[in-house]
Each structure stands twice: as structure tokens, then as C-alpha cells.
């Protein structure tokens, strides 16, 4: 017969589901992203991830010996793809649509998780994620901006020399700065202001 104390103890312990292989790994990676997006890098623990995934911490450590390895795989699996460069007839409309895609990615669960890593990690730990951020975020966004601008050059609404990487960094840098420092949530109106007041004037063909 089970005592009332034993029953209470059993109820207080987290429920563990019987899952194996890819199903369990997906649950752990999802739990890591959820923890990153809610408690941040500093608050994330392997034990917390295991509890959120409803598994034992041994199952987590068996696959990922360190927090850094777990987070790297979680971000790699979870970062959303931006898709193809929009083609809406003008560089202004293309950039506006692309910025909305980037805004949605920033405010997705993986986006919040990535920002927790960027903002909270010390420089030594951040170096571990450099290649992931380069290949998963920076290079795809530069590629899309490059395609939009190159198409604008062919249309004649962008000057031919407006193809440098610094120009392609303007929008992501503004979005990160205003999100972190100014607590902007990047409404459609604010995106339009950035495009019309900053980016399009930088790209517009010179007159005179």
C-alpha cells in the first residue's frame, strides 16, 4: 500500500514521457529554445531544459555534454529561413517586405533565443556561436539585401555603386539597435520610416 507521503512525493516530481531518438531530441531542442527565449542565457540550465522537455537530465547530458553544445544545436535547428528575395516592382516595396520578414524572425521564439545569446554571453563564449550567426543570420540577410539592391540597379531606381556590404548592414544594425536600446517593437509604420527616411535616400541615384 502506498503511503500518503510517497504519493505526495510522486505527484511533486516532474512527469517524464517515454520518447526516444529524434522525437526526444526534438523535444529537448525545443525546450532549450523555449528556456532561452524566456529565462535567457544566464538563466538556462541543463536541468531546466530536461524538466521542460519532460525527460531526465541524463538524457540531455548524454547527447549534449555542455550547455554551449545544446544551445548551438537548438539555434541551428530552430533559426527561421528568410526565404527568397521579394520582387514587388520597386526597391522600396521589396525592402519594406524584406524588413517585415526580418522583424517576424527577430520576434519569433528562435529570434528571442538568439538575442539572449548575443546580449548575455561573454566574449569568449560568444566566439563559439560566431560561425552559426554568420551562416544562419548575417550571410542570408546580406544575400537577400544584395539581390533586392541588384534588382533595383537593373531597374534604374538604385545607383550602380550602392552594393557595398556596409549598406547591406544598415537595416539589420538599425533593427538590432532600436530593438535593444530603444525597446522598439518594429511596427509596420516604423519600418516604413526607416526605409523612406534612411535606406532609400542612401540608394537613390545621384542627381546633378
For residue 48, the domain's CATH number is: 1.10.10.60
100 plus 32 within the same structural domain: no
Task: Out of 49, 75, 101, pick the residue that ends a domain.
Answer: 75
Q: Are 69 and 99 within one domain?
A: no
Contact 48, 14 (CB under 8 A): no
Q: Are residues 97 and 71 in the same domain?
A: no
Radius of gyration of the chain (CA): 22
Same domain, 169 and 116: yes
Do 52 and 131 fall within a single domain? no
Tell whether 105 is covered by a domain. Answer: yes
User: What is 101-116 written as a DSSP string?
Assistant: HHHHHHTSHHHHHHHH
Is 134's pLDDT higher than 70?
Answer: yes
What is the number of other CB atoms lying within 10 angstroms of the CB of residue 87? 12
- 38 within 8 A of 110, measured Cβ to Cβ: no
Number of domains in the chain: 2
Average pLDDT, the chain: 86
Residues 26 and 100 in one domain: no
What pLDDT is recorded for position 118?
A: 84
Answer yes or no: is 130 within a domain: yes
Which of 25, 44, 75 lies at the terminal end of a domain, its last residue?
A: 75
Provide, rounded to the nearest whole percent, the portion of the chain with pLDDT above 90.
47
**64 in the same domain as 24:** yes
Give me the mean pLDDT over the 102-107 stretch. Answer: 88
Question: Beta-carbon neighbour count of residue 45 at 10 Å?
Answer: 14
Residues 106, 48 within the same domain: no
Angle at 162 between CA 156 and CA 167, to 5 degrees: 135
Residue 63 lies in a domain: yes
Residue 70 lies in domain? 16-75
Across residues 38-58, what is the average pLDDT? 94
The reply to whether 121 and 31 lie within a common domain is no
Per the domain annotation, does 174 fall within a domain?
yes
Q: Are residues 116 and 149 in the same domain?
A: yes
What's 190's domain CATH number? 1.10.357
207 DSSP 8-state letter: -
For residue 77, CA distances in Å to 12, 49, 72, 146 come to 32, 16, 9, 25
Please say which residue of 28, 51, 75 terminates a domain.
75
pTM of the entire structure? Answer: 0.76
Any domain includes 175: yes
Q: What angle do CA 137, 141, 144 make, to 5 degrees?
A: 150
Classify residue 1: in a domain, yes or no. no
150-163 pLDDT, tens digit per residue, is 999 999 989 998 88
- Burial (CB < 10 A; 0-12, 13-18, 19+), residue 57, is middle
Q: Are 95 and 181 within one domain?
A: yes
Residues 163 and 62 in one domain: no
Instruction: Say how many residues make up the chain.
Output: 208
- Over the stretch 153-201, which tens digit does the pLDDT of each residue have? 999 989 998 888 888 888 888 888 888 788 888 899 999 999 999 999 9
Amino acid at each position: 500500500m502506498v503511503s500518503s507521503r510517497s504519493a505526495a512525493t510522486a505527484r511533486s516530481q516532474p512527469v517524464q514521457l517515454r520518447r526516444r531518438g529524434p522525437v526526444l531530441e526534438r523535444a529537448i531542442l525545443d525546450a532549450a529554445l523555449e528556456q532561452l527565449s524566456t529565462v535567457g542565457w544566464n538563466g538556462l540550465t541543463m536541468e531546466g531544459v530536461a524538466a521542460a522537455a519532460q525527460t531526465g537530465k541524463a538524457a540531455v547530458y548524454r547527447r549534449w555534454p555542455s550547455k554551449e553544445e545544446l544551445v548551438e544545436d537548438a539555434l541551428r535547428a530552430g533559426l527561421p529561413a528568410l526565404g527568397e528575395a521579394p520582387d514587388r516592382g520597386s526597391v522600396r516595396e521589396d525592402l519594406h517586405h524584406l524588413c517585415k520578414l526580418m522583424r517576424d524572425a527577430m520576434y519569433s521564439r528562435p529570434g528571442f533565443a538568439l538575442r539572449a545569446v548575443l546580449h548575455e554571453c561573454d566574449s569568449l563564449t560568444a566566439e563559439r556561436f560566431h560561425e552559426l550567426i554568420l551562416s544562419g543570420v548575417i550571410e542570408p540577410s546580406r544575400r537577400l539585401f544584395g539581390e533586392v539592391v541588384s534588382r533595383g540597379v537593373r531597374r534604374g531606381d538604385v545607383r550602380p555603386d550602392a552594393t557595398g556590404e556596409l549598406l547591406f548592414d544598415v537595416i539589420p544594425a538599425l533593427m538590432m539597435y532600436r530593438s535593444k536600446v530603444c525597446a522598439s517593437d518594429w511596427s509596420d509604420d516604423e519600418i516604413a520610416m526607416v526605409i523612406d527616411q534612411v535606406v532609400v535616400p542612401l540608394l537613390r541615384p545621384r542627381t546633378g
